[in-house]
Amino acid sequence: MKKVIIVICGVFLYAGDHPELNGGRPGQAETITIVPIGYYQFEANFSPPDGGGGIMFRTGISSNLETRFSLDDLFAGSSTPLGGITAGLLMHIREDEGSLPGMGAALSISVPNADGFQMDAAQIDLVVPFSKGITDNFGLDWHLAISHADDSQAFSFASFFGYGITDKLGAFVGLYGGSPMDEMSDMSLSMDGGFTYMLKDHIQLDLNGGTAVSENGEDSFVDMGIVFRLPN
């Protein structure tokens, strides 16, 4: 999962017209919205009490494609301050129009770091995200994903029900889980929820948490984060 620590110093003055900020966090569901060409977006979070985190960098490289790179599991209590790295691409395939949802596709590779980066333990993920606006204030994002690591495959899914309370404040709740492809009956289920706040047009803050629904679901957590976009 996405875990991020941030120390972002710098520019909080952001003048002129710019695209609407749409982050890939909070929640577990992948976004279909790419960062425009010429903009640089950072998404980060911190998960007390363990203090684990990470940071993701995103930027557009064409009108429908972005590249992304993340530092994973920073200062998460292991023998190294960096638990791994992830690199990938996100493609925007179609907008949410008519009766059909918006759609994208994301491909990434994650390499763990345990006393050295271990390419033989790398994980490849293919994620197909969808997005559908229900009303002006309410929408649904979800994705289906397949991962491959150590000669085994796994299936996962995530959903995100978002509601705009005001122009700045939003709330969400989600359900997510997965299982090995050869043990689909052993599906794990977890849920999360929280709030977002638009501090400025280019800065979003969030506070969220989650817990297991099934016996093998994810441990309970509390998470706080930020999405920060630098201008063109």
Q: In CATH, what number is assigned to the domain containing residue 124?
A: 2.40.160.40
Q: How far apart are CA 222 and CA 210, in angstroms?
A: 7
* pLDDT at 9 > cutoff 80: no
Q: Is residue 166 part of a domain?
A: yes
Q: Is residue 210 part of a domain?
A: yes
Domain range holding 96?
40-230
Q: Is residue 99 part of a domain?
A: yes
Q: What share of the chain is helix, strand, coil (3-state, %, to 5)?
A: 5, 60, 35
* pLDDT at 35 > cutoff 80: yes
Mapped onto helix, strand or coil, the DSSP state of residue 32 is coil
Mapped onto helix, strand or coil, the DSSP state of residue 34 is coil
Whole-model pTM? 0.86
Q: How far apart are CA 196 and CA 182, in angstroms?
A: 37
* pLDDT at 5 > cutoff 50: no
pLDDT of residue 67: 98
Query: Please, which pLDDT band fits residue 2 given cuts at 50, 70 and 90?
Result: very low
What mean pLDDT do residues 33-49 have? 91
Q: What is the mean pLDDT of the chain?
A: 88
**Total domain count for the chain?**
1
Q: Is residue 174 part of a domain?
A: yes
* CA nearest to 201, candidates 21, 58, 43, 39: 21
Identify any residues that bridge with 176 across adjacent strands, giving them in sequence order.
Answer: 158, 190
- 40 close to 17: Cβ distance less than 8 angstroms: no
Q: Hey, what are 34's tokens?
A: 């790419």
What mean pLDDT do residues 95-117 have? 91
Give the number of other Cβ atoms within 10 Å of residue 208's Cβ: 22
For residue 177, give Cα distances in angstroms to 50, 65, 127, 151, 218.
22, 27, 14, 21, 8
Q: How far apart are CA 199 and CA 224, in angstroms?
A: 14
Q: Is residue 22 part of a domain?
A: no
* pLDDT at 122 > cutoff 70: yes
Q: Is residue 188 part of a domain?
A: yes
Q: Is residue 63 part of a domain?
A: yes
pLDDT of residue 121: 84
Q: Is residue 108 part of a domain?
A: yes
Q: Hey, what are 47's tokens?
A: 């998960």
